[in-house]
Structures are given as structure tokens and as C-alpha cells.
Amino acid sequence: MLYIGVMSGTSLDGLDIALVELQAGNWTLRDAFCASLPGTLRQELLELCQPGHNELARVALAEQQWVHLAANAINQLLTDLHLDASDIRAIGSHGQTVRHEPGAGYTWQIGNPALLAELTGITVVSDFRRRDVAAGGQGAPLVPAFHELLFAHPEQSRALLNVGGFSNLSLLAPEQATRGFDCGPGNVLMDAWIQRHHQLPYDAQGAWAASGKVHQQLLQRMLAEPFFQQQGPKSTGRELFNLNWLDRLLSAFPEVSNTDVQATLLELTAQSCARALLDTLKDCQQLLLCGGGAHNHALHARLGELLPGIEVLSSSALGVDPDWMEAMAFAWLAHCCLQGIPANRPAVTGASGLRVLGAIYPA
């Protein structure tokens, strides 16, 4: 069986399309493609993460653009691989998160699955998070269950650290329920800072951060944010960690250079993730990195320093490309929905029980 996973994360760095094959219980990446978001659409989606004017109409128009981009990429991928729409059992579409407020009882991912089904001729499964929120959960992260499927080991304790716009941990220990939670900012603040000062989409390999020095007082002020003291289940987003949050903290430290701010932001990501892991999986032997942050050499090295005795590797070392992990996960979530398989993990999200996630839009 072939599925397509569509993932557009909080980094807003592109729309990931993964063609995944299920054969004999194994999930294998067949092909993948990243569609760049037009600058105007990216900016509109960023602005929609905060309250603004005429939001309903703007959301409706933005999600139409998002869906046309996704459909064009999917149709092109099928053409390139000489596949028909009928060869694909379903598309699992995460959509694009514009608001995530589980404490207020809602999370909102736009992506018009009805239109995506029309434009591709393929059944679409979407809206994965809201059922978990309805059951009292955070609705995030959802990928730990997929990590469990791929990487759980009968004798070894492992953790998966996904570093996208935000970072989240999956904790896999033998004979224990899978746990996980959001750790805090991943790339979101580093990306925003380098975009502001160098007009670059991201800090390639963490080179700019590595050229600066960590400002310890600023770092401690950042780590004093109450989110970091909370225990999981917990999740976060741009509603909390954004440039306004950073600017408020920087107002007390006008002497800090832009380069040192970037170094401090990388240290914030590294320390918040390392502390979260050490506090929750004390016998961890291996940490696997996935998401765009897996390519940040400076972050990878710093995590290794903060986690002595734990082997820190890219998920590629175990055969799964870190760039496509989440898109693959939403292909799997589509399969679970169609098969009636619960795909949340209450120990991760805090939901009151296992739930089948997603809504189905037939071709």
C-alpha cells in the first residue's frame, strides 16, 4: 500500500511531501519532495499566527493557496514516478498550524482537505490533532507513536529529538509506555533572528551561532520562562516563543551583540532539550536527531557535550532520513485512521485515553 504524507511545520520553510510504502508491516520512504512556500504566503501564515484584522477571510484565502501548492506538488510527484491517483490509498495531511491553544481547548490547522481531495483525486485524512484535544490532551506531539513503531528497542532506552520550529522529545524505554512532550523552541527563534539581521532563511549548520559567545545572564532569563519548569504532557508554539518574547528579554541587555544573541538562542535550544531528557529518561543510551535541526552541526555538537554517556546520532544512522520523518508520520497516521487504529499516546499528550485521530475526505 502507498500513502502520501504532507507536512508543513512551524518553521514554514517548505511543504514536505513523502511517498511511503507499507509492506509486511514495514514503512519505507519511496520518494519525497519539498515545495517552497512563496514569500507572500509564508508571510501571511506567520501573521495569521497572531490576532489581526479580517482573519477569517485571510485564513480562507491562505489555505486555498496552501492546498493548490500541495496538490501541484503531489500531482507532479505522481507524474514523475508514473503513478496514478488510484495507486495511492490516502493522503495524510497535517495542514498548517495557525493557532495552538490546548489550554483554551483548541488547536487549528488550516489546509482545506476537501479541496485537496478534489484537486488530487485521492482520499485525504486530515485534522489529526483536534480529537486528542477534545479528549483533554495537548494535541501534540503526535509523532512519538510513529517513533515507537520505528525505533522502540526491547533492551535499549532511546530518545528521539525532533528539532523543527519547535523541539519535541519521544522517550522509548523497554517495557514502558511511550512518553514525550515539547521541549521549547527548536529553530524558530534562531531562524527569526537571522532572517531579521541577515535576510537568510536559517543559520546553515549553526555557523553564525558558533561564531558568537553565549550571554549567560540572557540565557538564564530565557530559561526562567515558566514553560521550561512545567512537566509533560506539554506543548507550545509561536503563541509564546516569538520575536516579541525575545525582544522583551533583550530590552534588559542592550549591550549583547546580534551574533551573541544567536549563540545564546542555540544554547537555549540545546540546554532546554538536554535538561528535559536528563530529567525524564535517566538511563537513556542513545539520542536520535531528526527534523531540520539534525543538520545544525553546532547544535549536534553542543548536545553531545551536554549529554555525556549518551550517543547522539542523526536518525539516518538507523535508516530514516531526518528530513522526512514527520511527513512519513502523517502518512502512517492516515493509515491508522482508515484502519480504526488509535494513534495518540495518552502519556504523551495527556488525553483521557486512546483515540482514533483524523477526519476522512473520500476521493
Q: Summarize the annotated binding site for ATP as residue ranges.
A: 9-16
Which residues are annotated as part of the binding site? 9-16
- Give the residue among 230, 239, 233, 231 at the shortest CA–CA distance from 100: 239
Q: Which residues contact 111 (CB under 8 A, 6 or more apart)?
A: 6, 8, 63, 66, 67, 70, 93, 94, 95, 96, 126
CB contact burial 306-334 (16+ within 10 A = b; e otherwise)? bbeebebbebeeeebbbbbbbbbbbbbbb
DSSP 8-state code for residue 153 = -
The C-alpha cell at 265 is 538562542
- Give the residue among 132, 58, 163, 38 at the shortest CA–CA distance from 336: 132
Alpha carbon 7 to its chain's center: 9
CA distance 39 to 190: 19
CA distance 137 to 232: 11
The C-alpha cell at 93 is 495531511
CA distance 61 to 166: 26
- Give the residue among 95, 7, 98 at the shortest CA–CA distance from 46: 98
Q: Which residues contact 33 (CB under 8 A, 6 or more apart)?
A: 16, 17, 73, 76, 77
Phi, psi of 201 (to 5 degrees): -70, -30
CA distance 219 to 215: 6
